[in-house]
Amino acid sequence: MNSLYEIILVEDNLSDAELTIRAFKKNNIANPLLHLKDGEEALEYVFGTGKYAGRNIHEMPKVILLDLKMPKVGGLDVLKKIKSNEITKIIPVVLLTSSKQDKDILEGYQFGANSYIVKPVGFENFVKAISDVGLYWLLGNQTPK
């Protein structure tokens, strides 16, 4: 069941993506990570269509980090599709947002989001979100608490 990629980062802003990836590396999280640049790509990956046609969708990432505000297909739409599919709904999804006041966060929880992170992706922020979804020990080199 091991997926090639354990962390899927869906982020249209390249600077944000670079800084997020750096935050992982800085904190010894070296799990294979795939950066997808918009919601459409995310859906194609998760459901094995389009560019990712034929991918075994039972090979699931350990976590999807999903930006809320993206062109074409937004984060909430991606979330809804992932969480309303019997196979994919077990994948933990952590929302990335610019503001903790974002009303989309609340809506995100209603659609089954597991946690959220307010950018910038400070490590403390990240640790908290990852422990919220119970994945900390899977992703880090650290021993489980």
Partner 1 sequence: MNSRPKILIVDDKPENLVVLERVLRDMNVELVKALSGNEALKATLHHNFALALLDIQMPEMDGYELAGILREEEKTNHLPFIFISAVYTDNLNVFKGYEKGAFSFITKPFQPEILINKVKFFVEKHQQEIELLQLNEDLVSKNRDLEDSNKALDSFSYSVSHDLRAPLRALSGYSKILEEDYVSLLDDEGKRVLNLIQHNAEKMGTLIDDLLMFSRLGKKNVQKTTINMAEIVDTVLTEIKQSRPYKANVKIKALPFADADQTLIQQVWFNLIENAIKYSGKTDNAEVEIGSFQSGKALTYYVKDNGAGFNMDYVDKLFGVFQRLHGTDEFEGTGIGLAIVQRIINKHGGEIWAEAKIKEGATFFFTLPIN
By CB under 8 A, name the binding residues for partner 1.
13, 15-16, 18-19, 22, 26, 69, 98-99, 101-102, 119-120
Minimum separation from the CB atom of position 83 to partner 1 (A):
23
Q: What share of the chain is helix, strand, coil (3-state, %, to 5)?
A: 40, 15, 45
Q: Which is nearer to partner 1, 61 or 74 (CB)?
A: 74
Q: Which is nearer to partner 1, 19 or 73 (CB)?
A: 19
- Given phi > 0 = left and psi -120 to 50 = alpha, else beta, which region is 105? alpha
Minimum separation from the CB atom of position 120 to partner 1 (A):
5
61 prior amide bond cis, ω within 30: no
User: CA-CA distance, 63 to 8, in Å (whole number)?
Assistant: 6
User: CA-CA distance, 11 to 38, in Å (whole number)?
Assistant: 6
Q: Which is nearer to partner 1, 22 or 89 (CB)?
A: 22
- 62 and 130 in contact (C-beta within 8 Å)? no
Minimum separation from the CB atom of position 49 to partner 1 (A):
29
Q: Which is nearer to partner 1, 16 or 44 (CB)?
A: 16
Minimum separation from the CB atom of position 88 to partner 1 (A):
27
User: CA-CA distance, 45 to 126, in Å (whole number)?
Assistant: 23
